[in-house]
A and B are shown apart, each in its own frame.
Chain A
Amino acid sequence: MTNLQKNKCIDIQTTADDHRIAKLAAFAIGLHLLEAVLPSPLPGVKPGLANIVTLFVLYRFDFATAAWVSLLRVFASSLLLGNFLSPTFALSLSGALLSLAALFLTQYLPLKYFSAVTLSVLAAFAHMVGQLIIVRFWLIPHTGVAYLIPVFMAAALVFGVVNGLLTNYLLSLNPPQQHQDKG
């Protein structure tokens, strides 16, 4: 690039952290999009594979990075899928916020006894609760929703365990020392 061209560009200062967050969020967005095209027996029941990335980031980096990756994923995926600010987006966002809240609390559990499985299950439950709050108080203000709660929670448990195990596996493939020298 010549100097003239350089001056024309808007130069945004980015740090290594930003690049890392962007890279990780891109993974999460990819998984989110992949999942969006999969058919689901019940609207709202999804494996939540993108949460594997969030969990991985939480373990290998810190909570702030995980929160960035999770929320960027929600916003960017909704833009890509064309449902930004739609009910789907609201469900996704409230789920992500509550599951981040769950992760914020559970990250302090002793690593000796609790692995990503615990965090994943609790985050999945929180995600469902976040979605059900939106469903109950905004989308379908009817107690009939209560009949679906056990189904949703059972799905959250199953996918929570699976995602947790996958996260554990990924973490074992990527020992911490490979990543700690970054940034």
Chain B
Amino acid sequence: MKSTKPLWGDILVVLLALIFVGYLFKSLWHQEHAAKLQIRLGDKIYATYSLDQNRMVDIQGPIGLTRIVIANGQVRFASSPCTNQYCVHQGWLSRKGQAAICLPNQVSLELLGGEKSFDSLNY
């Protein structure tokens, strides 16, 4: 223990730990592109669109008209009647699992991949 020379076991462990952390970054920070867009209005699914086609969707919510734009595999709230405009400021969404919600007008967007990844688990 008195020597300050690095020990082989330590080097091995630190290297393995580095590989492990690298693997974590690679596997958990995947940027999977979404394939579909699901729009909800209130408690119902309003529509599901493919992100492949450019499209403009106008939805009549409780307080007005929300405009959603799909373009180049991305989607955003283009305009909303709400006062805070949080949904519009979310900007373009393109990755699987991303979501934008406009609570005042009860409209929400969720991006889906080929198959839906869990957003939460209940017991």
Supposing A122-B13, A153-B20 touch, asked if A168 and B119 sit within 8 A by C-beta, the answer is no
Q: Does A39 contact B (CB under 8 A)?
A: no
Q: Does A82 contact B (CB under 8 A)?
A: no
Q: What is the size, in residues, of chain A's interface with B at 8 Å between Cβ atoms?
A: 31
Instruction: Specify the chain A residue showing the minimal Cβ separation from B29.
Output: A150
Task: Tell me the minimal C-beta distance from A68 to chain B in angstroms.
Answer: 22
Instruction: Specify the chain B residue showing the minimal Cβ separation from A158.
Output: B21
- A164: chain B residues at CB < 8 Å are 10
Instruction: Pick the interface stretch among B1-9, B56-64, B101-109.
Output: B1-9
Task: Tell me the minimal C-beta distance from A35 to chain B in angstroms.
Answer: 22
Q: Of B7, B13, B25, B29, which is in contact with the most chain A CB atoms at under 10 Å from its CB?
A: B13
A157 touching B21, Cβ below 8 Å: yes
Bound-complex Cα distance A117 to B4 (A)? 11
B120 touching A168, Cβ below 8 Å: no
Contact of B2 among A110, A150, A175 (CB under 8 A): A175
Bound-complex Cα distance A89 to B120 (A)? 25
Q: Does A115 contact B (CB under 8 A)?
A: yes
Supposing A168-B1, A171-B1, A172-B4 touch, asked if A114 and B9 sit within 8 A by C-beta, the answer is yes
Q: What is the size, in residues, of chain B's interface with A at 8 Å between Cβ atoms?
A: 23
A132-150 interface (Cβ within 8 A of B): 141-143, 146-147, 149-150
A118 touching B10, Cβ below 8 Å: yes
A101-125 interface (Cβ within 8 A of B): 109-115, 117-118, 121-122, 125
A168 touching B4, Cβ below 8 Å: yes
Q: Mark B55-98, 1 if CB is under 8 A from A, else 0.
A: 00000000000000000000000000000000000000000000
Identify 29 residue pairs between A and B in the complex whose beta-carbon atoms are under 8 Å apart, listed by A's number: A109-B9, A111-B1, A113-B8, A113-B10, A114-B7, A114-B9, A114-B10, A115-B7, A115-B9, A115-B10, A117-B6, A117-B13, A118-B9, A118-B13, A121-B13, A121-B17, A125-B17, A141-B121, A143-B119, A143-B121, A146-B28, A150-B24, A153-B20, A154-B21, A157-B21, A164-B10, A172-B2, A172-B4, A175-B2
The residues of A with any CB-CB pair to B shorter than 8 Å are 59, 109-115, 117-118, 121-122, 125, 141-143, 146-147, 149-150, 153-154, 157, 160-161, 164, 168-169, 171-172, 175
The residues of B with any CB-CB pair to A shorter than 8 Å are 1-2, 4, 6-10, 13-14, 17-18, 20-21, 24-25, 28-29, 117-121
Known: A117-B14, A157-B14, A157-B21. 11 other contacts (CB 8 A): A111-B1, A118-B9, A118-B14, A125-B17, A143-B118, A143-B120, A153-B24, A164-B10, A168-B4, A169-B4, A171-B1
